Structure 1
Amino acid sequence: MPPFQDYIVDPDPTAWWSAHRGASPIIGTAIHNGHHIRSGLQDYLGLSADQRLREEDPFTEFFIRDLPNRIIVHRSRFEIDINRAREGAIYLSPEQAWGLQVWAQPLPDDAIAASLGVHDAYYAMLETYLRGIEQQYGAFVLLDIHSYNHRRDGADGPETPFEKAPQINIGTSSMDRQRWAPVLDPLIEQLRSFEFRGRRMDVRENVAFQGKGEQTRFVHERFPDTGCAIAIEFKKFFMDEWTGEPDIETLKAMRDMIRLSLPVLHETLKVRS
């Protein structure tokens, strides 16, 4: 067992995702947390587990453990990327996958269909799940938690320049920004006020990413008046993106930061409603 076993989730290899439902209008998701690839695809893979892990979002599930509503996807984005539109959710060319050749040989049609079936099932589940929360509370906020690399030139290479790489990037491109400003702006200020190692968090909007993922787009399309989906990208300052080793102190702090944002979200959503 790795020394950080308590900070990762190790589901049954056949599980697609886990969904927890509690008494709250706030939902957290970690849809790129997964690392499993189904057994029928193993012979086609052209990447090692370590290569895949670099582009996955490990530990993002840990950040949302204090939310009563949580959805964690257990399949690797290299099997099916839930955060891309259906037609691009399988990385069939290097251009779709950071230049990586994901498959050593072409995938059969039935394998592609099976992976797309997971994508279809996820969004059918998500709509039903969110409809229940909408009916109970009238509106909801979904925190779509991701992470991103900032040392792409190698383990000893330079970091991405500060101006292009906030510690936390808030993506809002698919959101009706004016409608949800009373919820979003206080959240951003709350995150910025969090102090860690003597400094406040660097939180910026639409810098490294613009929040163009499929999940936030889906929420805003299906729940235009009641659903606020916020893409939150953590720079991987909480781990070594080349070895996969986490900084436990930082993991715990980021979990605390998300937990402390919940009262603000509940209050602003209640006032808005």
Structure 2
Amino acid sequence: MRKLSVEDIIISIEERKCFEAVADDYSFTIKIESYAPFVCGAVHDGHQFRKSLWENCLHTEYERWYEEDPCTKQMVNSFPIVIAGCDSRFEYDLNREPEHAIYEDAWGKRLWKKNLSKEEKKASLQKHTNFYRVVHELISKLETDFKKVIVFDMHSYNWKRWDREVPVWNLGTANIDTVRYGSLVEKWRIKLGSMQLPNGIKSTSKVNDTFQGNGYFLKYITQNFKDTLVLATEISKIYCDELTGVIYPEVVQSVEEHLKELIPDMVQEFEEAGL
């Protein structure tokens, strides 16, 4: 993996080069092994937290980890195009619009001991801007080449905080055209629910049960590109102990292996749909 400036990443996409890189500020990674009509994204996979913010932050490292989406990049990393955040959403949230990307409080708890300076906010928001410059260039080129594109927007969520039974997989569809894409969403839901997972985990799947798909990553792509479907796909944290931070690698690997089959199947369904 090379370290590249955002400008060099954009030029590489413009020239249809295959490459794997980390942005030169280490805020995100992108891999393009081949140009294909689908993208896998993991915007909340990152855990990095800028050192200049450490002493000012009231949340512990565990509290930050608890709200992040660990292992979501690993689950899709075998695919030809993967873009993922490296920084914690507690520095800036790639799944929120720029004006709300820096938290004042998070999950009912104040985040900062004292208000962030303009310089600190600017440094964080520049990374947010850079990420979306690359996303825009990438989807633009893929729509030009393939006419229609599908994006697998991977997230996870904490199931133990719910006081009812919740699904292993949740698909959020509030901000996509369900008249046009509803049948494909249902096919994706069925595929996810078919997984045979270890440790006696039953792979249930529902639409808009725990979350509705209101993230900025989905909204940005959907609002700017009329022929790209974004599937906001959330897995409950059955692949770890969310109360201790222990990861269950056998579950992560099982999900990864299942997705190696299910995502190509879904891409084929998408390509064959008369949309």
Q: TM-score range by the shorter chain?
A: 0.7 to 0.9
Counterparts in 2 of 1:211 and 1:13: CA distance versus 1, 3 Å: same
2:41 counterpart of 1:29: yes
CA contact (8 A) 2:44 2:89 kept: yes
Deviations 1:235-270 (A, max 9, x none): 111101122111122111111222111232221222
Paired letter, 1:62:
Q
Q: CA deviation at 1:102?
A: 1.4
Q: Which residue of 2 aligns with 1:161?
A: 164
2:135 to 126, 144, 147: 126
Q: Distance in 1 between matches of 2:145 and 2:185?
A: 21
1:145 to 149, 154, 162: 154
Q: Which amino acid aligns with 2:74?
A: F
Q: Give TM-score, length-normalised by structure 1.
A: 0.86
Superposed CA RMSD in Å reads 1.9
Shift of 1:229: 0.5
The answer to whether the 8 A contact 2:23-2:29 is kept is no
Q: Which residue of 2 aligns with 1:107?
A: 116
How many angstroms does 1:57 deviate by? 0.9
2:55 aligned partner: 43
Deviation at 1:160, TM superposition (A): 3.5
Q: Output aligned runs, 1:1-273, within 5 Å.
A: 14-21=25-32, 22-92=34-104, 94=105, 97-152=106-161, 160-162=163-165, 165-197=166-198, 200-224=202-226, 226-272=227-273
Aligned-pair distance for 1:16? 0.6
**Alpha-carbon shift at residue 182 of structure 1 (Å):** 4.1
Q: TM-score, normalised by structure 2?
A: 0.86
- The letter of the residue matching 2:135 is L
Q: 2:153–2:230: 8 Å Cα contact kept in structure 1?
A: yes
Output the CA distance in 1 between the equivalents of 2:264 and 2:80: 13
Higher relative contact order (CA 8 A, sep 6+): 1
Percent identical: 27
Cα offset for 1:56? 0.8
Deviation at 1:142, TM superposition (A): 0.7
The code of the aligned residue for 2:81 comes to N
Whole-Å separation in 2 of the counterparts to 1:47 and 1:13: 27
Helix, strand or coil: the match of 1:63?
helix
Q: Per the alignment, do residues 12 and 18 of structure 1 end up closer, same or farther by CA in structure 2, a change over 3 Å counting?
A: closer
In 2, Cα distance between equivalents of 1:44 and 1:31 = 24
Q: Secondary structure at the match of 1:44?
A: coil
* 1:29–1:71 contact (8 Å) kept in structure 2: yes
Distance 1:69 1:12, change over 3 A: closer
CA distance in 2, matches of 1:119, 1:173: 23
CA distance in 2, matches of 1:181, 1:99: 34
Answer 1 or 2: which has greater strand percent: 2
Structure 1 residue identity aligned to 2:241: D
C-alpha distance in 1, partners of 2:63/2:264? 38
Q: 1:114 to 1:272 in 2, by over 3 A?
A: same
- Classify the secondary structure of the residue corresponding to 2:109: coil
